[in-house]
Amino acid sequence: MLPEHLQHAAEAELGETAERRSASLAELKQLVAENSSSAGLAPAGAIKALLAATADTGLTTEEVLLQHLCARKFNVAKAFEALSLRAAFLQEYPDLSKDVAGSEFLQVYGRGLVRVLPGTDAAGRRIISIRPSNMTEVPVDPLLIRWQVFVMSRLARDPAFQVHGVVLVGNFDSVKLTDAKFMAGQLRHGRLRLMMHYIRSCAPARIGGIFIVNQPKFIGIVWGLMSLFMGSKIRKRVRFLGNNLQVGFMA
């Protein structure tokens, strides 16, 4: 049961009510059961394998399904699509589902490439900070993608995250032209695309906005490529702020 303040927010932001939650869970469970014997977006049995793996981390089936329902505002068809794509992704890339801890965690977090900030923005959304200038030190290899999968799965356990979602802040301070060319190369080789695909289509998360700050004049080199791999809905949520940080995404 959600705390009272989150119940109001869930109804306002997601259209969630006790009745809709119950009906949507039942419908999504039925779709999952059908996937056990027939292939769709995910190979037959892939969703069952995903649910078994998450059960090993202490999550129930209902909790996992609810994460995806919240991320898609209780649109059962879209929630099932995201769940199926997540299951297919982790079946195709099983090594990317391994937890990240200890020295591996610090290898990414300690260098400041990707960080989850401790607070929220004014709308209660969690903030993930990305500093592309550090990407040449931590290339988009399997560890970085594993880190992103791991962090998103942990954030999704928080009811407030399920209700309010997350914003991404790309800080391009100190980015040089060589860094931009490196990022373009990562996109062409598919590694950055793979990470973007997981965040956009598979992760149980609502992306409330993408804010680009301190961007250089040559940002178009990277943005022109990145925008090709974003849905129109996500592209509309991208804002270029320059060095004007007096905006509503910070609490």
Residue 103, exposed/middle/buried by CB under 10 A (0-12, 13-18, 19+)? exposed
- Whether domain 4-92 has CATH 1.10.8: the reply is yes
Residue 52, exposed/middle/buried by CB under 10 A (0-12, 13-18, 19+)? exposed
CA angle 176, 130, 156 (to 5 degrees): 165
Q: How far apart are the first and last CA of the chain?
A: 26
Beta-bridge partners for 207: 166
pLDDT value, residue 98: 82
CATH node for 102-242: 3.40.525.10
Domain locations in the chain? 4-92, 102-242
Q: What is the pLDDT of residues 81-134, one digit of tens each?
A: 999 999 999 999 888 888 887 787 777 777 777 889 998 999 999 999 888 766
Distance separating alpha carbons of residues 67 and 63, to the nearest angstrom: 6
Length, in residues, of the chain = 251
Confirm whether 4-92 and 102-242 share one CATH topology.
Answer: no
Supply φ then ψ for residue 81, to 5 degrees: -60, -45
Least Cα distance to 32 among 22, 20, 46, 16 occurs for 46
Q: What is the pLDDT of residues 29-46, one digit of tens each?
A: 999 988 765 556 777 788
pLDDT of 250 strictly over 50:
no
Give the percent of the chain with pLDDT over 90. Answer: 36
pLDDT-derived band at 2, boundaries 50, 70, 90: confident
pLDDT of 251 strictly over 50:
no
Single-letter amino acid, residue 64: V
Tokens 């509309």 found at? 236
